[in-house]
Amino acid sequence: MSDRATTATAREIARRNGVVRTGSRVVPEEVPIAFSYGGSTQAVMMGTPAELEDFAVGFSLTEGIISSMAEIEEITVVDEGRGLDVQVTLAEDKEDALRARRRHMAGPVGCGLCGIESIDQAMRAVPHVSAIQQALSARHITDAVKALNGAQPLHAETHAVHGAGFFVPGKGLIAIREDVGRHNALDKLAGAVVRQGVQGSDGVVVVTSRISVEMVQKTAILGSAVLIAISAPTALAIRTAEEAGMTLVALCRGDDFEVFTRDDRIDTGVVAHVA
């Protein structure tokens, strides 16, 4: 575990309604977080110093380094002063496989693909989730988004982080993770879900960010067939979701939302479609 603070207080001069005042604002911390396997750094991300064990498991899973929790033997977080080193010990066969495909990623928050060495790596195939049966009502969609919006303490304090939640119909939001990086938040969520022993196919992923192709890839690797977002998807995210058989629900505001792929999983309650 890390003892790092997740927020700091910054002095500010604010102008509102024509009045200028000096005050302070709570802002999120952002630190370099390295993931090391077998003593070698695999990736360096800028992120929020919290839920690092979840982050390590989720990152290892979505990057294809592991396929199950059983392949991780130990996770140790070392504070290096200017950043944090999350040291992951893998089962021997996984360590050997990782050495064979060793690459290095380093980049700013929000990129998600920095350090990828080829187009093929960026456009990796995602697992097919077509066969996963999910039956969601319009109420499920709005409840999932509402629950996520109300369960983000760091966002409530700073208004500067992303959130990712795992919603199970009939149970509600069973996990939520926050980070200054949207990819990081989703990796942390994936780790939390896996560590709870929950199957990705049991629920849906809901995020506060736009839907990029990486968000689709990570959701499919977790094993969830539905991705819900407050913002819009990119064209590539839509095409990738179609290929994977995933349902994309986006632009969720109040009771309104838009379904871009596999709408057969969603009962919108609409009597007739109007072109």
CA 125, CA 238: separation in Å to the nearest integer?
14
Residue 233 identity (one-letter amino acid): P
Of 34, 111, 138, 160, the active-site residue reads: 111
4 Cβ contact list (under 8 Å, min separation 6): 29, 31, 49, 50, 79, 84
- Find how far residue 141's CA is from the centre of its chain: 18
Cα–Cα distances in Å, from 196 out to 57, 87, 163, 200, 237? Answer: 12, 21, 18, 11, 28
Task: Assess contact for 8 and 26: CB atoms under 8 A.
Answer: yes
- Per the rule left: phi > 0, alpha: psi between -120 and 50, beta: everything else, 254 is left
Residue of 171, 243, 237 lying closest to 204 (CA atoms): 171
Cα–Cα distance between 188 and 173 in angstroms, integer? 15
Count of positions (residues) in the chain: 275
Catalytic residue check, 111: yes
Q: Residue 270 carries which DSSP code?
A: -
Q: At 95, which amino acid appears?
A: E
Q: Which residues, in sequence order, are bridge partners of residue 158? A: none
Which residues are bridge partners to 79 per DSSP?
Answer: 84
Distance CA 175, CA 258 (A): 24
State the catalytic residues.
Answer: 111
